[in-house]
A and B are shown apart, each in its own frame.
Chain A
Amino acid sequence: MTAENNQPLLSVRNLRIEFPTRRGTLVAVDDISFDIAPGEILGVVGESGAGKSLTGAAIIGLLEPPGRIAQGEILLEGRRIDDLPYEEIRRIRGRQIGAIFQDPLTSLNPLYSVSRQLTETIQTHLSMNERQARERALELLEEVGIPGASERIDHYPHQFSGGMRQRVVIALALCAEPRLIIADEPTTALDVSIQAQIISLLKRLCNDHGTAVMLVTHDMGVIAEAADRVAVMYSGRIAEIGPVQEVVRAAKHPYTHGLMGSIPHIGHHVDQLTQIEGSMPRLQEIPPGCPFNPRCEQVSERCYVERPNLQVAEKSEVACHLFDAPGLEVRAGD
Chain B
Amino acid sequence: MTDIVNSAAPLLSVDGLVRHFDVSAPFLNRLFERLDRSYVKAVDGIGFDIGRGETFSLVGESGCGKSTVARLIVGLYQPTAGSIKYEGVEIGPSEAAQDRKRMQPHMQMIFQDPYASLNPRWRVADIVAEPLRVRGLLSGKREILGRVGDLLSQVGLSPADGERFPHEFSGGQRQRISIARALAGEPEFLVCDEPTSALDVSVQAQILNLMKELQDRLGLTYLFISHDLAVVYHVSTKVGVMYLGKLVEWADTKTLFENPRHPYTRMLLDAIPDLEMTGRQRIPVAGEVPSPINPPSGCAFHPRCPHAEERCRAEAPVAQIHDGVHVACHAVADGRIG
Chain A residues within CB distance 8 Å of chain B: 47-48, 161, 163-164, 191-197, 199-200, 218-222, 224-225, 244-245, 248-249, 258-259, 261-267, 269-277, 279
- Interchain CB contact under 8 A, B274 and A192: no
A200-B282, A264-B208 are contacts. A225–B273 as well, Cβ < 8 Å? yes
B208-232 toward A: CB 8 Å interface, digit per residue (1/0)?
Answer: 1100100000000000000101110
Main secondary structure of the interface of B (DSSP, over half): helix
Q: Of B61, B230, B285, B286, which contacts A264 at CB under 8 A? A: B230
| Closest partner residue, chain B, to A189 (CB atom) | B62
- B residues within 8 A CB of A259? 201-202
Q: Which among B267, B284, B289 has the highest number of chain A CB atoms within 10 Å? A: B284
The reply to whether B277 and A195 form a contact with Cβ atoms under 8 Å apart is: no
Residue of B204, B271, B273 ringed by the most chain A CB atoms within 10 A: B273
In the complex formed, the residue of B with least CB distance to A194 is: B288
Which of A200, A221, A271 makes the CB contact (< 8 A) with B275? Answer: A221
Q: Is B77 an interface residue (CB 8 A)?
A: no
Instruction: Tell me whether B203 and A279 are in contact (CB under 8 A).
Output: yes
Residues of A within 8 A of B171 (CB): 48
Closest Cβ–Cβ distance, residue A106 to chain B (whole Å)? 17
State A272–B212 Cα separation when bound (angstroms).
8
Residues B230 and A265 in contact, CB atoms below 8 Å apart: yes
In the complex the two chains form, is B204's CB within 8 Å of A191's CB? Answer: no
Taking CB atoms, residues of chain B closer than 8 Å to A248 are 275, 277
Check A197 against B272 for contact (C-beta < 8 Å): no
* List of B residues within 8 angstroms of A218 by Cβ: 200-201
Docked CA distance A197–B230 (Å): 19
Contact present for B205 and A224 (CB under 8 Å):
no
Q: Are B227 and A273 within 8 A (Cβ)?
A: no
Structural contact, A161 and B288, CB atoms closer than 8 A:
yes
A220 and B230 alpha carbons, distance in the complex (Å): 12
In B264-278, the 8 Å CB interface with A consists of 267-277
A222 to B173, CA, bound (A): 26
Number of A-B contacts (CB under 8 A): 119
Nearest chain A residue, comparing its CB with the CB of B2: A271
Chosen A-B contacts, 9 in total, with CB atoms closer than 8 Å, are A163-B288, A164-B288, A196-B271, A196-B284, A224-B274, A263-B230, A270-B234, A272-B209, A276-B206
Q: In the complex, A199→B272 CA distance in Å? A: 11
Closest to A245 in B: B277
Q: Is the CB of A47 within 8 A of B62?
A: no
Q: Is B165 an interface residue (CB 8 A)?
A: no
Chain A residues whose CB sits within 8 angstroms of the CB of B170 once the complex forms: 279
Q: With the chains together, A279 CA to B202 CA distance in Å? A: 8
- B48 within 8 Å of A by Cβ? no
Contact A266 B208 (CB under 8 A): no
* Beta-carbon contact of B201 and A262 below 8 Å: yes
List 9 tightest A-B contacts by C-beta distance, closest first.
Answer: A221-B273, A262-B205, A264-B234, A191-B61, A47-B200, A273-B205, A196-B271, A196-B284, A225-B273
Interface centre among A196, A199, A224, A244 (most CB of B within 10 A): A196
Contact B205 A192, beta carbon cutoff 8 Å: no
Contact of B62 with A263 in the complex, beta carbons under 8 Å? no
Q: A218-B200, A264-B230, A266-B257 are in contact. Are A271 and B1 (CB under 8 A)?
A: yes
- Which residues B215-269 have CB closer than 8 A to chain A? 227, 229-231, 233-234, 257, 267-269
Which residues from chain A contact B208 at a C-beta distance below 8 Å? 264, 273
A262 touches B204 (CB 8 A): yes
Which residues in A have their C-beta under 8 angstroms from that of B268?
Answer: 192-193
Contact: B205 with A193, CB < 8 Å?
no
Residues of B near A194 (CB, < 8 A) are: 61, 288
Most buried by A among B200, B202, B269: B202
Q: Which of A225, A272, A279 contacts B274 (CB 8 A)?
A: A225
In the complex, residue of chain B having the shortest beta-carbon distance to the beta carbon of A273 = B205
A197, B289: Cα distance in complex, Å: 13
List the A side residues contacting B233 at CB < 8 Å.
264-267, 269
| A273 in contact with B277 given A191-B62, A218-B200, A218-B201 (CB within 8 Å) | no
Pick the residue among A47, A222, A245, A277 that contacts B273 (CB under 8 A).
A222
Q: How far is the CB of A284 from chain B (nearest CB, A)?
A: 13
Q: Is B172 positioned at the interface, with any CB of A under 8 Å from its CB?
A: yes
Assembled-state Cα–Cα distance A305/B95 (Å): 68
Please judge, given known A-B contacts A193-B284, A266-B257, whether A275 and B209 are in contact too, CB under 8 Å: yes
Q: How far is the CB of B228 from chain A (nearest CB, A)?
A: 8
User: Complex formed: what's the CA distance from A275 to B1 in Å?
Assistant: 18
Query: Which residues of chain A come closer than 8 Å to B173, judged between CB atoms?
Result: 279
Q: Is the CB of B273 within 8 A of A193?
A: no
Judging by beta carbons under 8 Å apart, are A265 and B288 in contact? no
Question: Once the chains are docked, how many angstroms separate the CA of A164 from the CA of B277?
Answer: 28
Contact flag A244-B277 (CB < 8 Å), given A192-B271, A193-B284, A197-B284? yes
Contact between chains at A220 and B277 (CB < 8 Å): no
Contact indicator A258/B234 (Cβ below 8 Å):
no
- Please indicate the chain B residues that have their CB under 8 angstroms from the CB of A274 in the complex: 205
A52 to chain B, nearest CB (A): 12
Query: Chain A: which residue is nearest B279 at the CB level?
Result: A245
Max count, chain B CB within 10 A of own CB: residue among A163, A191, A277: A191
Distance of A266 Cα from B257 Cα, bound (Å): 8
- In the complex, the answer to whether A263 meets B277 with C-beta atoms within 8 Å is no
Q: How far is the CA of A220 from the CA of B200 in the complex (A)?
A: 11
Q: Nearest chain-A residue to B257 (Cβ)?
A: A266
Asked if B271 and A266 sit within 8 Å, CB to CB, the answer is no
Q: For residue B245, give the distance in angstroms from its CB to the closest CB of chain A.
A: 16
